[in-house]
């Protein structure tokens, strides 16, 4: 063999498949020791059978393991004490995470331990403890050889661990960043930020946090000194109550998509707003090349914004600052009216003929997003060639709305360009360094096209 090998022979009661007698099972483990396996992993209630045979123990290292497939129990420290006194070389404590905060308890256990310990949580909510194993101080982690070949719930595959999460570069000092949301499993943010950390030589690691109860998460994860977060649906508004400070624009919008930890203080920002304004300014600049200040690119432009949710709010407040003439239309008209009142702009009903008398049309709804890619929020006969049409959706990159707008001769902007700019602004807030937006766009396109 060219790599160290761990031999296990798990009984069914510990989640394994060996259905012979206990004597046969232990005999096979002893044989592995005689054959000089690098490690033998034995269950906490069978360790006495191996440790009595002390002369067998060289050079094999014994791992004594405890598995709990139901929960992360309260008495983790007692379990650790018992296992650490068993005569084994390495302690392994693997539990099931029923709550994302269970990962914090595993982290605290690892911090307090005096001997080598392998510890992480199983299940979807435990994935972060598997990824952050070096940062947490675990002796090792487990990964499957390929997706679909997992040997325990929540195991990620080796390709993801090494490429997306750059596991070889991680150490005890890696700064942790991550995405708070639900769902988060299909987000492209981990590949983007982890690749940027690698390319820009920054010792950071970015992971997805699937969060149900935002208050519990924010309180418990302060113990881990997370350096920054991205925030997505459904927590952009509710997270505000758990921050120490908030930037003035994010406060006006009432939503935060970026959190920066400055010396233990969590400060909220909204980079969706500046990103949307930036992509609109870039396109409008072509129409007003002699404008003296960039504020003038959008000044007085008629903008119709479809939607009144979080992203529509961010865009509306940003455009208001640039003195655009905004009209909001939304399926739920009362919500459109309410947002228009907050921003100080117009609202109209969807079927009002004047609603689409506009220079810029923006879709800030999920209509047309994968998998319902054949839907469009605005019928093609309402599109005029003089319009700039901006769809905030980035999956697919070219929505039905954008395809039809292009066919009408409109200038179009896709949601990926906004996504790329909000990610770049986020990275700059966290690290002080501005990454290349071209690089972010390439990583995102490759991922969305399934190339990575
Ligand atoms: P949100 O707060 O849930 O708001 C969704 C909005 O879409 C609401 O106004 C809702 O109308 C409307 N809507 C939903 N389903 C609809 C339907 N079937 N027909 C008509 N209107 C519908 O969501 P959000 O955070 O604002 O996100 C909206 C979209 O923005 C996302 O789907 C995503 O594609 C895009 N986005 C893009 C970026 C980027 O960087 N490019 C970032 C974040 C989000 P009601 O008020 O009537 O329910």
Looking at the chain, the whole-number percentage of residues with pLDDT higher than 90 is 89
Check residue 54 and give its pLDDT: 56
Taking Cα atoms as reference points, which of 366, 367, 369, 406 lies closest to residue 388? Answer: 406
pLDDT of residue 288 exceeding 60, the answer is yes
The confidence score (pLDDT) of residue 284 equals: 83
Q: How far is the CA of 396 from the centre of ligand 1 (A)?
A: 15
CA distance 354 to 304: 10
3-class SS at 48? helix
Cis peptide before 404 (omega within 30 of 0): no
Query: Which residue has a Cα nearest atom 42 of ligand 1?
Result: 419
The token pair that represents 37 in the structure block: 């396996």
What ligand 1 atom has the least distance to the C-alpha of 369? 34
Work out which ligand 1 atom sits closest to the CA atom of 332.
47
Report the phi/psi class of residue 429: left, alpha or beta, with left for phi > 0 and alpha for psi in -120 to 50: alpha
| Continuous H helices in 238-385 | 248-253, 271-285, 310-321, 333-343
Q: Is the pTM of this model over 0.85?
A: yes
239 vs 427: CA distance, rounded Å: 19
Ligand 1 center–CA 309 separation, angstroms: 6
Residue nearest to atom 1 of ligand 1 (CA): 309
pLDDT in tens, 408-426: 999 999 999 999 999 999 9
- Point out the ligand 1 atom lying closest to the alpha carbon of residue 306: 9
What is the predicted pLDDT for the residue at 289? 63
Band of the pLDDT at 450, cuts 50, 70, 90?
Answer: confident
In sequence order, which residues have a C-beta less than 8 Å from that of residue 356 and are 6 or more positions away?
Answer: 304, 378, 382
- The 10s digit of each residue's pLDDT in 330-347 is 999 999 999 999 999 999
Question: Which segments within 265-399 are labelled E, that is strand?
Answer: 265-269, 302-306, 325-329, 346-347, 360-363, 388-391
223 phi and psi angles, rounded to 5 deg: -70, -20
Tell me which residue of 86, 394, 83 sits closest to 95, measured CA to CA. Answer: 83
**Average pLDDT over all residues of the chain:** 94
The 10 Å CB-count burial string (b at 16+, else e) for 331-353 is eebebbbebbebbebbbbeeeee
Pocket test for ligand 1, best of 307, 342, 420 (most atoms within 8 A of CB): 307
Query: CA-CA distance, 419 to 162, in Å (whole number)?
Result: 25
Instruction: Express each pLDDT in 37-48 by its tens digit.
Output: 999 999 999 998
Mean pLDDT of 282-295: 70
> Is the confidence at residue 127, as pLDDT, over 90?
yes
- Give the tens place of pLDDT for each residue, 223-259: 999 999 999 999 999 999 999 999 999 999 999 999 9
State in Å: Cα 409 to ligand 1 middle.
26
Strand partners, 42: 64
390 lines ligand 1 (CB under 6 A): no
Give the tens place of pLDDT for each residue, 302-327. 999 999 999 999 999 999 999 999 99
- Among 239, 256, 270, 311, the mutation site with the greatest number of ligand 1 atoms within 8 A of its Cβ is 311
3-state helix, strand, coil split of the chain in percent (to 5) is 40, 20, 40
Calculate mean pLDDT across residues 394-398.
94
* 330 in contact with ligand 1, CB cutoff 6 A: yes
């Amino acid at each position: 063999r060219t790599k160290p090998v761990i031999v296990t022979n798990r009984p069914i009661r510990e989640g394994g498949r060996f259905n012979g007698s206990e004597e046969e099972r232990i005999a096979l483990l002893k044989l592995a020791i005689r054959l000089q396996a690098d490690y033998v992993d034995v269950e906490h209630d069978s360790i006495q059978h191996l440790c009595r045979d002390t002369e067998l123990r060289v050079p094999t290292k014994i791992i004594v393991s405890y598995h709990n497939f139901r929960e992360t129990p309260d008495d983790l420290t007692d379990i650790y004490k018992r296992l650490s006194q068993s005569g084994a070389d390495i302690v392994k404590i693997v539990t099931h995470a029923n709550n994302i905060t269970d990962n914090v308890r595993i982290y605290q256990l690892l911090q307090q331990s005096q001997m080598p310990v392998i510890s992480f949580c199983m299940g979807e909510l435990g994935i972060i403890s598997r990824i952050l194993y070096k940062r947490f101080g675990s002796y090792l982690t487990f990964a499957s050889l390929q997706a679909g070949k997992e040997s325990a719930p929540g195991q990620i595959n080796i390709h993801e661990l090494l490429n997306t999460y750059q596991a070889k570069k991680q150490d005890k000092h890696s700064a942790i960043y991550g995405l708070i949301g639900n769902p988060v499993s299909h987000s492209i943010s981990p590949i983007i930020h982890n690749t940027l950390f690698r390319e820009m030589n920054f010792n950071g690691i970015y992971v997805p946090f699937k969060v149900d109860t935002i208050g519990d998460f924010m309180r418990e994860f302060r113990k881990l000194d997370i350096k920054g977060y991205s925030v997505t649906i459904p927590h952009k508004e509710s997270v505000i109550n758990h921050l120490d400070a908030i930037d003035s624009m994010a406060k006006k919008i009432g939503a935060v998509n970026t959190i920066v930890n400055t010396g233990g203080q969590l400060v909220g920002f909204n980079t969706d707003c500046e990103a949307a304004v930036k992509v609109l300014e870039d396109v409008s600049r072509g129409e007003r090349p002699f404008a003296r200040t960039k504020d003038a690119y959008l000044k007085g432009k008629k903008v119709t914004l479809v939607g009144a949710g979080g992203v529509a709010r961010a865009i509306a407040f940003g455009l208001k600052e640039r003195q655009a003439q905004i009209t909001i239309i939304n399926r739920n008209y009362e919500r459109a009216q309410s947002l228009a009142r907050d921003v100080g702009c117009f609202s109209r009903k969807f079927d009002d003929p004047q609603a689409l008398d506009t220079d810029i049309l923006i879709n800030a709804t999920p209509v047309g997003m994968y998998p319902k890619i054949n839907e469009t929020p605005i019928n093609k006969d309402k599109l005029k060639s003089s319009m700039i049409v901006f769809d905030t959706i980035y999956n697919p990159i070219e929505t039905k709305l954008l395809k039809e707008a292009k066919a009408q001769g409109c200038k179009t902007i896709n949601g990926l360009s906004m996504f790329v700019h909000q990610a770049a602004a986020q990275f700059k807030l966290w690290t002080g360094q501005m990454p290349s937006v071209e690089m972010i766009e390439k990583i995102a396109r490759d991922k969305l096209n399934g190339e990575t």
